[in-house]
A and B are shown apart, each in its own frame.
Chain A
Amino acid sequence: MGAEKVNKNPKILVFSTEKISDPAIDMAGLLKLHYPPTVYTITVPCSSGIKPKWILRALEQGFDGVFIAADGTDCPYGESCVDKTGQLVGVTQEILKEKGMDPARLKMAAICSVCSEPFVKHVKSFTKYLMNSSN
């Protein structure tokens, strides 16, 4: 890890959610919508319950990027999920800036339960970004 590394295959950690974005990611597989195999998923109940320290841990341990596949307005725990996920992303990006890391290494998008194609599009373009960025 570190700034000098040239990322041929950037590793991305996806935080997905049990009821909303997980089904979309599963369906991407079912539909054989290919995306880079260096994209890994950890499932949590809700995207607004992701701790900034987990994201930092991932980036510090060797992931090049973290993608939050957020519940959006479909969140089974209520629509406040949207704002709360946004807030934790904001807070974490501030920490990244303070640490001199590229805040764009953390990305978030709402992925609904049938949003397989948008998911694949997002992780592909994120992969491309990380490949081209020096961080």
Chain B
Amino acid sequence: MKKKIGVYVCHCGGNISDYVDVEKVREEIEKDEGVFLAKTTMFACADSNQKDMVTDIAEKQLDGAVVASCSPKLHLLTFSAVAERAGLNKYNYIHANIREQASWAHSDDKVGATEKAIQIVKAAVAKVKRSNALEPIRVEATNAVAVVGAGVAGLRSAIELAESGSQVYLIEREFFVGGRVAQWDDLFVSNETGKELITRLYDKAMNHKNITLFTGAEIVENSGSVGNISLKVKVSPRHMKLNCDEGNLEKAIEVCPVEVPDKFNFNITTRKAIYHNFPGEYPQLPVIDMEHCTRCGECEKVCKNVDFSQQEEFLNIKVGSVLLATGYDPYEPKNDEFGYKTIDNVVTLPQFKRLVHYCDDKLVYKGKEVKNIAYIYCVGSRQVDGENKYCSRYCCTATIHAAITAKKKYKEIYNFHFNRGIRTYGKQEVLYDESSRMGDIYLQSFEDHPPVVSKVGDKTMVTIKDILTADKTLEVEADLVVLVTGMVPRQDNSIGSLLKVPKGRDNFFNEIHMKLRPVETVIDGVTIAGASQGPKNIMESMNSSLAAATKSFSLIAAGELALSPTIAKIDADNCEWCGKCDDACPFSALTKTDVNGKQVAVVNEAVCKGCGMCMPVCPSNAIELIGYTDDQIESMIDALVSTH
């Protein structure tokens, strides 16, 4: 038990001392056996006081320290660091909160607040007396990262990690890489196409010896913890032999009798059951979609590389960290939302972009040439009634860019933008300027009066009460209505549930702190990048993917991890393995082990998170949580009820 404890009672410049008699607290605590010195201070966190504490601890050889001040959320780390600077192990420092939980909570009762503050500090002293110096638990870390998703964000992260020296397993659920960006043509600002961008990244990734790409692959099991994560990956077969003849493959696609809606083109076209999304797509080998394949055998007749004998494979890989770059889905409008699926010339922005890709001289939709295009903004974003309250960020720019592209590509295109305020932030404003100069018409409404799409005879009309012309009701006859759909989380986000990554209110993966820890999640070792975290454009996805790669790398690069030592501890003498702790542990940190011929529970130090769920269920009270031992908690209870 400690005998030389230093206690510092903070005035907090009046925040505490206006309601709590800090001098009385000091006097009372000074009487406590084991308290070597007790001081009051105007601001405990001030540099001068921190220096005094360091001097006290070092010169007087204090063996424990307590600061009674604000919430530990504000300054626990500050004073732990002071202790360390003075050569005192940080676990021999205990924080007492006499501001949020005494002076402020009881500013109506100065006597009561002072009494409570005395008891709180006594309890802290009781705890520090029973604290021990602890060292972080060091575990070996595997210098490998699983990057989930091979879109722009995943590819970019993989390259960065590989170049830093990590082994990378790039796991893509689809059979082709590139994600959403592979679906886009020209991109603002460079005019480089999405495909070109993906090709560059793909080439770079595939030329790096540290990167292994799996397509048609999904993580199905996960165990272990940061530094040592074991993953089971299911790899679905392409049903194609490697290194086959390109010519025959094209013939195989030609003879396939099955036609299904082509998801790559957002269902505006069809594809065969044996397919690639576009010629030259990576990996260049086509794939057989077994969900729709009828096994008619036509393709096998013309192409010897088709191989129906290929089976699902399961791979076990070991990584130190997982980086999620699983992207987004475009919002799917509800039936009849602005005429979607009920009026025949209403499409979404992604469909429109694919349409512009496929139409060469004339823009034709369902056999009719398109001249007047009405774009309805914020569909599925900034919803008043729906769940998606957020702005999807990319759509204003993407729409204006698509409108300009269409106008340049085809003759006599008239663009009408039914918006709720244009958000072409930063450099993207140039596009808005260009579109305005090209004669695009902007009409605007508030969220409570959205435009109305209706069918009048064989015409499709879009009507708006335009606030830019003093609420005049304006009408446009549209050959095509484009719903500017925003970004939503992936429909199948099961990887998030598997890894227990929390979601935010918008249902995208959630970071620990939006500003201060933007790519880490509460699951140690799991980082997030790109649009899996929320709507982002390509530039923003690149920023976050580089940040996530760096964060994943920094966790594991040293080959060793320092983990918190405040975990469960088993008293092997008292433990008679019954398995109740194992059942209670959500992390499978306890295992039955033979110790000197006796079956007892053993804690996996790298897996235990220190929650203590195993403790109340133990019938022989053989488990304690370091930092919250029976001795510590019970002495605190005693101190809180003691009379002085």
Contacts and interface: CB of A to CB of B under 8 A. Distances in A.
A42 B616 CA distance: 17
Interface in A30-88: 30, 32-38, 40-46, 48-54, 57-58, 61-63, 76-78, 80-81, 84, 87-88
B102 interface: yes
B408 to A, nearest CB: 51
A37 B116 contact: yes
Contacts of B638: 61
Contacts of A91: 616
Interface in B594-632: 609-617, 621, 625, 628, 630
9 contacts: A22-B73, A26-B71, A33-B105, A36-B112, A37-B106, A42-B636, A45-B566, A45-B610, A57-B637
A49 B613 contact: yes
Given A26-B100, A54-B637, A46 B612 contact: yes
A45 B119 CA distance: 21
A7 to B, nearest CB: 13
Contacts of A25: 100-101
Nearest to B522: A76
Given A28-B105, A51-B630, A37 B115 contact: yes
A11 interface: yes
Contacts of A111: none
A41 B123 CA distance: 10
A38 B640 CA distance: 10
A29 B104 contact: yes
Contacts of B637: 13, 42, 54, 57-58, 61, 63
Interface in B130-160: none
Contact of B628 (A37, A38, A45, A61): A45
| Interface footprint category on A | 35 or more
Nearest to A63: B641
Ranked nearest first, the 10 interchain pairs of A and B with the lowest CB-CB distance are A49-B612, A37-B112, A29-B100, A29-B105, A62-B641, A29-B104, A26-B100, A77-B611, A46-B611, A37-B106
Given A26-B73, A45-B612, A84-B613, A54 B101 contact: no
A103 interface: no
B107 interface: yes
Contacts of A43: 72
B376 to A, nearest CB: 37
A100 B97 CA distance: 35
A48 B630 contact: no
Contacts of B587: 77
A48 B522 contact: no
Interface of B: 71-73, 97, 99-109, 112-113, 115-116, 119-120, 123, 500, 522, 566, 584, 586-587, 609-617, 621, 625, 628, 630, 633-634, 636-638, 640-641
A124 to B, nearest CB: 12
B101 A41 contact: yes
* Interface-central residue, A36, A49, A52, A80, by most chain B CB under 10 Å: A49
B613 A30 contact: no
Contacts of A13: 637, 640
Contacts of A78: 500, 586
B630 A44 contact: no
Nearest to A43: B72
Interface of A: 11, 13, 22-23, 25-30, 32-38, 40-46, 48-54, 57-58, 61-63, 76-78, 80-81, 84, 87-88, 91
B612 A40 contact: no
A105 B139 CA distance: 44
A52 B120 CA distance: 22
Contacts, number: 132
Given A25-B101, A57-B634, A48 B123 contact: no
B637 to A, nearest CB: 5
A49 B634 contact: no
Contacts of A49: 611-616, 625, 628
A37 B613 contact: no
A96 B260 CA distance: 67
Contacts of B628: 44-45, 49
A51 B105 contact: no
Given A40-B640, A53-B621, A77-B586, A48 B101 contact: no
A87 B100 CA distance: 31
A34 B108 contact: yes
B105 to A, nearest CB: 4
B616 A37 contact: no
A84 B104 contact: no
A32 B105 contact: yes
Contacts of B616: 48-52, 84, 87-88, 91
B640 A48 contact: no
Contact of B612 (A44, A52, A63): A44
B584 A84 contact: yes
Given A38-B116, A61-B641, A77 B613 contact: yes
* Interface-central residue, B112, B587, B611, by most chain A CB under 10 Å: B611
Contact of A42 (B115, B123, B613): B123
A46 B586 CA distance: 12
A80 B116 contact: no
Given A26-B100, A53-B621, A57-B634, A81 B116 contact: no
A26 B101 contact: yes
Contacts of A52: 616
A11 B641 CA distance: 8
A112 to B, nearest CB: 14
A54 B634 contact: yes
B623 to A, nearest CB: 9
A44 B113 CA distance: 23
Contact of A81 (B566, B613, B630): B613
A36 to B, nearest CB: 7
Given A26-B73, A77-B613, A84-B617, 9 more contacts: A26-B71, A34-B109, A37-B109, A38-B112, A40-B116, A44-B628, A48-B613, A49-B615, A81-B613
A105 to B, nearest CB: 14
